[in-house]
Amino acid sequence: MSPFEFVTVLISIILGLGITQIMSGIADLIHQWEKVKLYWPHMLWVLLVFVLHVQEWWLIWELKEVTTWRLPFFLFEILYPINLFILARILFPAQGNEETIDLKNFYFKSYRKFFLMFIILSSLSAIENIFIHEFGIEGWLVNALLLAVPLIVVLKKWEAEWLHQFLAIVLLAAMVVGIVLNIDEWLVS
C-alpha cells in the first residue's frame, strides 16, 4: 500500500459520511413527503454541498505524487472533508415530531451557522490553493469572494429572501462554469 492509498482511506471515509448525511437527509424528506414544505434555495445548497463532496474526492487524486506524508499535513488535508461533513449535517433539520417540516423556515433559522462553516471551507480552500497547489492570484481570488460574500451576509444578518435565492443561483452557476471551463484538467488517469 502506498502512502497516498493509506491516507486517502480516512479522507474517503469522511467524505462518504458526508455524502451519507446528504442522501439520508433527502431520503428522510421523501419519507415524510406529506409533512415537507420544500424551499428551492435550500435544495440548491444541498446540491452544491453534494457536488463539493464529490469534487473534493476527485481532487484528492492530485495528491497522488506526494510520497511522504507528515501528520500535520494530513491533519490539514482532512479539515476540508470534516468541514464538508458538518455542512452536510447542518443542511437538514434534526429528526423531530413536527407536524410540518418547513425548509424555508429551517433555512432562515440556520443559514448563519451554515454560512460560517462555508466561510471556513473557503478559507481552507484558499490556504490549500496558495500553499499546497501554489496557484497564483486565480487560486485565491474566487475563494476570497466565496469568503467575503457569506461573511457580509452573516455579519449584517441579511435575511432578504431574494438575496439568498440569488446567492444560491450564482454559486451553482459558478460551480457549473468552473467545472465546464476546467473539464480537461479534471482527469484521473
Banded model confidence at residue 117, pLDDT cuts 50, 70, 90: very high
pLDDT confidence band for 6 (50 / 70 / 90): very high
188 belongs to a structural domain = no
Q: How far apart are CA 111 and CA 93, in angstroms?
A: 12
pLDDT of residue 153: 85
Identify whether 186 is part of a domain.
no
Tell me the pTM: 0.90
The more confident residue out of 86 and 147 is 86
**Would the pLDDT of 30 be above 80?**
yes
Each residue's pLDDT tens digit, 130-175: 777 777 776 667 777 777 888 888 888 888 999 999 999 998 998 8
Please report whether residue 19 resides in a domain: yes
Flag whether 187 is in a domain.
no
Asked if residue 145 is part of any domain, the answer here is yes
Residue 123 structural domain = 3-181
User: Per the domain annotation, does 36 fall within a domain?
Assistant: yes
Q: How many domains does the chain have?
A: 1
Using CA of residue 30, residue 34, residue 35, residue 38, what is the dihedral sign?
positive
